[in-house]
């Protein structure tokens, strides 16, 4: 007889979306779907796992007559990790009208607030943490510190941190990273010294510091901490440093460090090590190195998982080897997930492969994906071939199923304040001065041979209108504001929620040369360090 114990034993064995659907059917036919424990675990697996499907999980959730808090949490957690984290905040609000939240509800919603830079909602959640008696929860308070830090209200983050009766290494790391990223490095180092004085374990402190420096744009300082560790380098230490190097485009150094770990360290590379070095190869275009490392995994006793396959598909796709990437997807030992098809679709857009793009798009539709990026990539690919009828067809499909395009934005911190920009922004108090600076930039860089890359504008409009649309991308506005509001010796650091466009990449390289400024742009995938007319990515991203 099928029992909840049997179901709970089957859940960890699900490794594909097909497995999830089979288990869901089993729960429905046996009537066990009404039992909260198994149902909530299934929802969580479907909403969060890399082979799951958030839309399918949401549809299952809507069929529950009286969802438990765990059911709500599964959906909020999945939405918080999705491209539209604001949906998690809306779902959390719906939860409040049905049942009281628990600490996990607040934690997942806070993570959504951090990703969406939703300050008002984060403060409301802070009040809920206190109202519902979760103030002593160290992990939840750490999430609150991290959320305030990422949103940019560092004084609030410090206050929450100081009020914590107990702190763990995640707590310290969250605030140190927030202070460093918020251009308060002195305070970050002061907190680091305070942490050491309070006796937090040295090797964990160094791991936190390496991670902090890498994520805040200073990989050289991260490497300095790593190199000065005379002992106590754990597998986490090595993996953090390899991942940090890869994120900044130092692929060769990351591969060398991986082999150094394999040769000299007392730890053996694990699945995370291989993922870190494969990602590093991916960012640097080290295709043959990446393929060799991938093929060597089995011999090292590490079985490749879906993330390793996904990284190799991205590696091949970025280098234009679309057919090989497609072959891996259709021949690997488990079903491809949504991310793999999205990765292939993006590569097809870059290299103009309409045939395989349409295959990837069909697969995504069959899997129930309604991510706006899938439609936008296909639409932009058609537009680059001037297939305007197909562009209209895709856009009509987006309207029909109410797909919303994620708006691009960039932000920059100046004197403790976060300044956020969207494309064509005229809401900033200094927008006229910013626009005049962009006009000056345009005039100066034309002397260096700049020609607007209007192929990045995917609308059937005139060439002049395309050039105007390019001028006021959010990252250009943020950089221009950095030029007029910071001293000439200060590096300009900009954060962007989407991938930087090709034209902006060209323009910012030229700005770094003409204005003799170091500019660091963190887009959704990696860091770009612009200096003296060059970028650390070597134009490969």
Give domain limits for the chain.
305-406, 410-535
Residue range 289-346, pLDDT digits in tens: 999 999 999 888 899 988 899 999 999 999 999 999 999 999 998 888 888 888 898 8
**pLDDT at 3 exceeding the cut of 50:** yes
HEC readout, 283-315: HHCCHHHHHHHHHHCHHHCCCCCHHHHHHHHHH
**pLDDT at 252 exceeding the cut of 80:** yes
**Can you tell me which residue has the tokens 């005139």?**
462
Helical (H) or strand (E) element with 209? helix 202-215
What confidence tier does 276 reach under pLDDT thresholds 50, 70, 90? very high
pLDDT score for 201: 67
Tell me the two tokens of residue 112. Answer: 């959504």
Backbone angles phi, psi at 494, to 5 degrees: -125, 140
pLDDT score for 306: 87
Cα distances from 121 to residues 90, 92, 145, 216, 388, in angstroms, run 10, 11, 14, 25, 41
**3-class DSSP state for residue 76?**
helix
pLDDT score for 460: 44
Q: Chain-wide mean pLDDT for the chain?
A: 86
Residues counted in the chain = 541
* Distance, CA of 45 to CA of 104 (rounded, Å): 16
* Distance, CA of 39 to CA of 17 (rounded, Å): 16
**3-class DSSP state for residue 102?**
coil
**pLDDT at 1 exceeding the cut of 60:** no
Sign of CA dihedral 155, 160, 163, 166: negative
Stretch 170-175: mean pLDDT: 86
Pairing verdict, β 492-496 and 409-414: antiparallel
Report pTM. Answer: 0.65
Contact indicator for 438, 472 with CB cutoff of 8 Å: yes
* Distance, CA of 177 to CA of 432 (rounded, Å): 33
Contact indicator for 493, 465 with CB cutoff of 8 Å: no
Contact indicator for 241, 272 with CB cutoff of 8 Å: no
What confidence tier does 537 reach under pLDDT thresholds 50, 70, 90? confident
Tell me the two tokens of residue 507. Answer: 């323009």
Contact indicator for 337, 50 with CB cutoff of 8 Å: yes
Sign of CA dihedral 72, 75, 77, 79: negative
**pLDDT at 474 exceeding the cut of 80:** yes
Backbone angles phi, psi at 24, to 5 degrees: -60, -45
Contact indicator for 359, 333 with CB cutoff of 8 Å: no
* Distance, CA of 124 to CA of 139 (rounded, Å): 18
Helices (H), 49-102: 54-62, 69-80, 86-96
**pLDDT at 374 exceeding the cut of 90:** no
Closest listed residue to residue 335, CA positions, set 303, 361, 306, 370:
306
* Distance, CA of 174 to CA of 254 (rounded, Å): 25
Stretch 177-201: mean pLDDT: 78
**3-class DSSP state for residue 509?**
helix
Tell me the two tokens of residue 194. Answer: 């305070």
* Distance, CA of 296 to CA of 319 (rounded, Å): 21
Range scoring the smallest mean pLDDT among 4-8, 246-250, 479-483: 4-8
Backbone angles phi, psi at 305, to 5 degrees: -110, -170
**pLDDT at 459 exceeding the cut of 60:** no
Cα distances from 334 to residues 7, 57, 274, 369, 474, in angstroms, run 22, 20, 19, 19, 40
Residue range 154-168, pLDDT digits in tens: 999 999 999 998 888
**3-class DSSP state for residue 359?**
helix
Closest listed residue to residue 175, CA positions, set 143, 204, 217:
143
Cα distances from 468 to residues 198, 296, 388, 442, 456, in angstroms, run 55, 49, 21, 11, 12
Residue range 76-117, pLDDT digits in tens: 999 999 878 899 999 999 999 999 999 999 999 999 999 888
**pLDDT at 456 exceeding the cut of 60:** no
Q: Which residue spans within 94-183 are E strands per DSSP?
A: none
Tell me the two tokens of residue 49. Answer: 């796992």
Q: 9 versus 139: which is more confidently predicted?
A: 139
**pLDDT at 485 exceeding the cut of 60:** yes
């Amino acid at each position: 007889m099928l029992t909840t114990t049997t179901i709970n034993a089957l859940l960890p064995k699900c490794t594909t979306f097909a497995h999830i659907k089979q288990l869901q059917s089993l729960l429905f036919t046996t009537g066990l779907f009404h039992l909260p424990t198994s149902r909530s675990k299934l929802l969580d697996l479907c909403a969060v796992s890399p082979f799951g499907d958030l839309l399918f999980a949401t549809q299952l959730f809507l069929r529950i007559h009286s969802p438990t808090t765990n059911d709500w949490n599964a959906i909020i957690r999945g939405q918080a990790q999705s491209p539209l984290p604001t949906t998690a905040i809306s779902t959390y609000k719906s939860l409040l009208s049905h049942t009281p939240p628990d600490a996990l509800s607040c934690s997942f919603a806070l993570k959504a607030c951090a990703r969406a830079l939703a300050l008002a909602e984060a403060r409301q959640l802070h009040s809920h943490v206190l109202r519902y008696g979760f103030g002593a929860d160290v992990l939840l308070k750490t999430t609150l510190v991290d959320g305030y830090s990422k949103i940019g209200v560092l004084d609030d983050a410090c206050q929450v941190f100081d009020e914590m009766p107990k702190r763990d290494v995640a707590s310290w790391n969250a605030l140190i990273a927030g202070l460093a990223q918020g251009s308060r490095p002195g305070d970050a180092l002061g907190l680091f010294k305070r942490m050491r004085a309070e006796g937090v374990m040295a090797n964990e402190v160094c791991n936190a510091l390496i991670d902090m420096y890498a994520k805040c744009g200073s990989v050289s300082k991260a490497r300095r901490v790593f190199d000065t560790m005379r002992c106590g380098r754990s597998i986490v230490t090595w993996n953090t440093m390899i991942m940090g190097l890869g994120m900044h485009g130092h692929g060769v150094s990351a591969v060398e460090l991986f082999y150094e770990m394999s040769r000299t360290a007392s730890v053996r590379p694990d699945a995370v090590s291989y993922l870190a070095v494969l990602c590093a190869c991916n960012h640097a275009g080290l295709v043959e190195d990446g393929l060799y490392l991938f093929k060597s995994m089995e011999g090292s006793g590490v079985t490749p998982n879906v993330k390793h396959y996904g990284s190799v598909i991205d590696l091949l796709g970025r280098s234009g080897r679309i057919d090989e990437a497609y072959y891996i997807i259709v021949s690997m030992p488990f079903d491809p997930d949504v991310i793999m098809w999205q990765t292939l679709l993006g590569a097809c857009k870059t290299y103009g492969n309409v045939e395989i793009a349409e295959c990837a798009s069909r697969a995504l539709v069959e899997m129930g994906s309604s991510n706006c990026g899938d439609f936008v990539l296909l639409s932009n690919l058609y537009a680059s071939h001037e297939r305007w009828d197909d562009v209209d067809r895709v856009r009509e499909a987006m309207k029909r199923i109410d797909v919303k395009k994620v708006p691009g934005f960039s932000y920059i911190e100046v004197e403790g304040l976060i300044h956020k920009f969207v494309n064509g922004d005229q809401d900033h108090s200094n927008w006229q001065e910013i626009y005049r600076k962009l006009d000056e930039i345009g005039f100066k860089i034309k002397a260096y041979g700049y020609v607007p890359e209007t192929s990045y504008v995917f609308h059937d409009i005139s060439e002049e209108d395309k050039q105007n649309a390019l001028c006021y991308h959010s990252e250009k506005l943020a950089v221009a504001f950095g030029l007029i509001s910071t001293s000439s010796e200060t590096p300009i650091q900009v954060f962007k929620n989407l991938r930087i466009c090709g034209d902006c990449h060209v323009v910012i390289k030229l700005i770094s040369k003409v204005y003799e400024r170091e500019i660091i742009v963190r887009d959704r995938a990696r860091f770009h360090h612009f200096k003296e007319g060059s970028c650390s990515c070597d134009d490969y991203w």
